[in-house]
Structure 1
Amino acid sequence: MKTVSTNDEFIAGLQHLPKPHYPFPDFTHPDMQKQREEYYEWIDKEYAFQSTEAREKHKKHHLTDIAARGCPFLKDIAELRPLANYTANGAMMDDYFDRCSRDEMYQIMNKIIALLSGEDTQEPKENGIFHLFWILRQDAMKCEIPEKIYKRFVKSIKDVLIGYSEEKVYYRTNTVPPLPVYLLIREATSGVQPYCDYVLLQKEYRNLPEEIFDHPHIKRIYSLCSLMIGIHNDIISLPKELQREGDTMNIVKVLQKENNLSLFDAYKKSMEIHDEYLKEFLILQEHLPPFGEHQNNVYNYIQDLGIMIAGVYAWHTNDTSRYVNGGYVEGEFPGWNQ
């Protein structure tokens, strides 16, 4: 076989390489289109500080579809709205602050968590990223998300934002991290743990005892969900990230450097790791600890986490605008002192 010598050659042959596949059904929330319309309104109203080009690109990405596919069994759009807000605002925010510093990202995180937790009860005076997070909390209270689940959701969002902060060290220096560091940060930045918490609002899972979700067996399943989605996101976004300096938090790039591999072999190794995680997920689902009367409900909850994984991947494979040349929204944050 000919050695793949350039990024362009590799990208040209990428469609012929194996892709992630999940043994879970794919569903969509019945209010997916209605949530899209609200998403367009959020961009026009709350993201007016961004360039017209950036806003139009965001609209094409249909980021709220991720929530509608990841949690398709939420009872109505009122329950879908906070997750859609976290997903779209979180992704657009990540784009906007793409090249900020680690310290700046921690400042941003502290402002967001103060608004989400209710520590800061004041509505931001200006529309924008922080105002949308304030709205998220108001919407969560309106649909009466149980306090214990909402607190878990906010704590998980904080962990995502910590991941965003820590990856800035590698982005700003155009440095590829070691694999253990990548896995630690990517588990957070995949943004999946808040989804695992939000799946609890579907069906009757909100009534399961709190200690079940802190069991090491279930926490490992959460990690596997986060890592699988992080890796499949890296696979999808690889063509964009091969052509853009600073996009170093990608498992293919990490394995290529760490093991001195060709892009083809690093891609293949990435898929092997992903598939091992999927195999582990299925084994852990089939061999749950004894949860007594809650056994079937916990099993079904894990199954719906699988449906969440498949739903997020379905968004990735249906999207044709975000991870292509010219489709990505470049960071426009000028820094606090400018």
Structure 2
Amino acid sequence: MQPILTLKQWKKKISEWLENEYSFLPEKVKKKYLTTGVGHAGGCMFPNASEAQLTAVCRFFLWAFTIDDSFEFSTVDELQIICRKALAYLQGTVANTDEPLYQHLPTLREELLQLGSEEWLNRFNTSLAIYFDGIQQEIPFRKNLVFPSWDQFISIREKAVNVYPLVNFAELITGTVLPDEVVAHPVLQELARLTCRILSWSNDYFSAHMEKGNDVLNIVLMMEHLEQCSMEEAYKKAVAFHDQDLARYCYLTEHLPDFGTYAAGVNAYVQNLSLMIHGYLYWTLTLTKRYSVGTTGHPSGELKDGKLSVNV
């Protein structure tokens, strides 16, 4: 079922979230998030989502963008506090909050439980914890502009890109919550990892021009550093590595094991993963200004120091 709201209505909804629940953000940042196209991102990546499902997706997107952009140069201690509090709200151990940074999370929890189950939400929360582990591991490399080893980079980037929760959403919007033992199958686990990597390499490709000299955790910059090559050549090497992962992903999707009574649910889930990958590229190439240089692009300039008028 397609979303009932028009694009104009989605933009209005997200604008209201920004004005009310995200009033702590600088006005310039709120304007940039409007040009990011959060509603477009959700719709492109999850075209099969209902209005209720897409509302939960976009609510999470906006919160995740805020965390990622605001605290990428934060401290491990601060990130641990944010992770602990966020999971407490999503797990329901804390019901309500007056803390601006977490105002959306109790609502998000209720929406997700209506759409899925406690079992699914536990997996989602585990994915979010993986993300926080990844961005904590990024900090010493990013702050000191020191390149990690290749193996360190791959491990950290897979987690810090924050795609595992989106992989969970790809399952949720099928309308069938798969049992833990099905989701834990090695083939589905590898597809989840490859989805994270493919979206990560795509993100890095589009953002390398902004991150050069300011960051090291980008596959293009890693290639340039490790191979001692030009940026132009590094882009080509990054694409080649992306294409290897994509080839493996395609092979696995075409040779899925027999999941018996869960076969239809698994097939729908995997189809949604593929739509998510395609949708991300379409959103990036045609609908968002997040990777543009200038006043409508990424809010990194306003949030680089991670200093907001809000406590973590």
Question: TM-score under structure 1 normalisation?
Answer: 0.83
By how many angstroms is 1:88 displaced?
1.4
- Counterpart residue type for residue 42 of structure 1: W
| Aligned residue number for residue 282 of structure 2 | 314
Partner of residue 73 from structure 1, selected from 38, 48, 52: 48
Deviation sequence 1:173-213 (CA, Å, 0-9, x none): 1222222111111111222111111122233432x443111
By how many angstroms is 1:263 displaced?
1.2
Confirm whether residue 119 of structure 1 aligns to residue 87 of structure 2: no
Partner of residue 202 from structure 2, selected from 212, 232, 235: 232
| Aligned residue number for residue 196 of structure 1 | 167
Percent identical among aligned pairs is 26
Once the two structures are overlaid, the 10-residue window that deviates more, 271-280 or 39-48, is 39-48
Q: Unaligned 5+ residue runs, structure 1?
A: 1-26
CA contact (8 A) 1:69 1:314 kept: yes
- Counterpart residue type for residue 131 of structure 1: Q
CA contact (8 A) 1:32 1:68 kept: no
Kindly report the root-mean-square deviation, in angstroms, between the aligned alpha carbons of the 2 structures: 2.3
Q: CA separation in 2, counterparts of 1:81 and 1:158?
A: 22
Q: SS in structure 2 opposite 1:289? A: coil
CA contact (8 A) 1:252 1:267 kept: yes
CA contact (8 A) 1:239 1:324 kept: no
Q: SS in structure 1 opposite 2:73? A: coil
CA contact (8 A) 2:115 2:172 kept: no
CA contact (8 A) 1:251 1:270 kept: yes
Confirm whether residue 294 of structure 1 aligns to residue 262 of structure 2: yes
Q: SS in structure 1 opposite 2:121? A: helix
Partner of residue 82 from structure 1, selected from 52, 56, 68: 56
Q: CA separation in 2, counterparts of 1:291 and 1:56?
A: 46
Confirm whether residue 184 of structure 1 aligns to residue 158 of structure 2: no
Cα pair distance change 1:196/1:169, threshold 3 Å = same
Q: SS in structure 1 opposite 2:283? A: helix
Q: Which is richer in helix?
A: 2
- Counterpart residue type for residue 153 of structure 1: F
Cα pair distance change 1:112/1:337, threshold 3 Å = closer
- Counterpart residue type for residue 229 of structure 2: L
Equivalence map 1:246-285=2 (5 Å): 247-285=215-253
Q: CA separation in 2, counterparts of 1:271 and 1:233?
A: 12
Cα pair distance change 1:144/1:310, threshold 3 Å = closer
Q: CA separation in 1, counterparts of 2:5 and 2:136?
A: 33
Q: Unaligned 5+ residue runs, structure 2?
A: none
Q: CA separation in 1, counterparts of 2:6 and 2:62?
A: 13
Partner of residue 163 from structure 1, selected from 121, 124, 134: 134
| Aligned residue number for residue 219 of structure 1 | 189
Aligned length: 305
By how many angstroms is 1:293 displaced?
3.8
Deviation sequence 1:105-134 (CA, Å, 0-9, x none): 12211111111111222x2124x2211223
Q: CA separation in 2, counterparts of 1:263 and 1:325?
A: 18
By how many angstroms is 1:64 displaced?
3.2
Q: SS in structure 2 opposite 1:99? A: coil
| Aligned residue number for residue 101 of structure 1 | 75
| Aligned residue number for residue 65 of structure 2 | 91
Confirm whether residue 53 of structure 1 aligns to residue 28 of structure 2: yes
Q: CA separation in 2, counterparts of 1:51 and 1:181?
A: 34
Q: CA separation in 2, counterparts of 1:111 and 1:293?
A: 38
By how many angstroms is 1:240 displaced?
1.3
Question: TM-score under structure 2 normalisation?
Answer: 0.90
CA contact (8 A) 2:72 2:135 kept: no
